[in-house]
Amino acid sequence: MKHLFIRPLDVWLFRNGKSFNAGSDHRAETVFPPLPTVLQGAIRTHYIELHGGIPAYLHGQLPDVITKIGKKGEPPPASFQIRGGFLAQYKDKQLTCYVPLPTHVYLDDDIYRLLEPEKKSGVMTDLGETQQLLWRDKHVAATKSDGSGWLSLTDLEILLNQKQLPKGSEDNPTVKPDCHFFERESRLGIKLDYQSHTTETGQLYQTESVRLREEYGLYVELDGVDWPDNGIFNLGGEAHAALYETIAPLTYPAPISPGQNNFTVTFLTPTYFEKGWQPASWQKFMGDSANFVTAAMGKPLVLGGFDVAHKRHKASRRYVPAGSTYYFTGTPNIPSTIKTMCDEVIENKIKFNYGQYGFGQFILGAW
DSSP letter string over 185-223?
EEEEEEEEETTTTEEEEEEEEEEEEEEEPTTEEEEEEEE
Tell me what the mean pLDDT of segment 276-300 comes to: 88
Average of per-residue pLDDT across 204-221: 88
Measured at the CA of 135, the angle between CA 130 and CA 140, to 5 degrees, comes to 150
Confidence of residue 343 (pLDDT cuts 50, 70, 90): very high
Q: What is the pLDDT of residue 323?
A: 94
User: Is the model more confident about 247 or about 197?
Assistant: 247
Percent of the chain with pLDDT over 90: 47
Is the confidence at residue 113, as pLDDT, over 60? yes
Residue 129: predicted pLDDT: 64
- β-pairing verdict for 345-347 and 350-352: antiparallel
* Res 126: pLDDT: 67
The better pLDDT of the pair 91, 206 is held by 91
**316 contacts 303 by C-beta, under 8 angstroms:** yes
Least confident of 4-13, 49-58, 201-210: 201-210
Instruction: Give the CA dihedral 97, 272, 126, 134, nearest 10 degrees.
Output: 0
pTM value?
Answer: 0.88
CA distances 232 to 51, 105, 277, Å, are 15, 38, 37
Taking 90 as the threshold, does the pLDDT of residue 220 lie above it? yes
More confident residue, 336 or 84: 84
Instruction: Please give the average per-residue pLDDT across 293-315, as a whole number.
Output: 77
Give residues with Cβ within 8 angstroms of 347, minimum separation 6. Answer: 307, 314, 315
**Residue 200 scores a pLDDT above 70:** no
CA–CA gap between residue 91 and residue 75 (Å, rounded) = 35
Top-confidence residue, 92 or 128: 92
pLDDT higher than 90, residue 91: yes
Q: Per-residue pLDDT for 65 more than 60?
A: yes
Distance CA 329, CA 264 (A): 9
The whole-chain average pLDDT of the chain stands at 84
The pLDDT of residue 154 is above 80: yes
**Which has the minimum average pLDDT: 99-108, 207-216, 225-234, 306-315?**
306-315
Q: What residues does 325 pair with on adjacent strands?
A: 266, 296
Helix residue ranges, H only, 77-175: 153-162
Domains of the chain plus CATH, in order, are 2-94+195-246 (no CATH), 102-174+252-366 (2.60.40.4350)
User: Residue 144 pLDDT > 70, yes or no?
Assistant: no
- pLDDT at 14 (0 to 100): 79
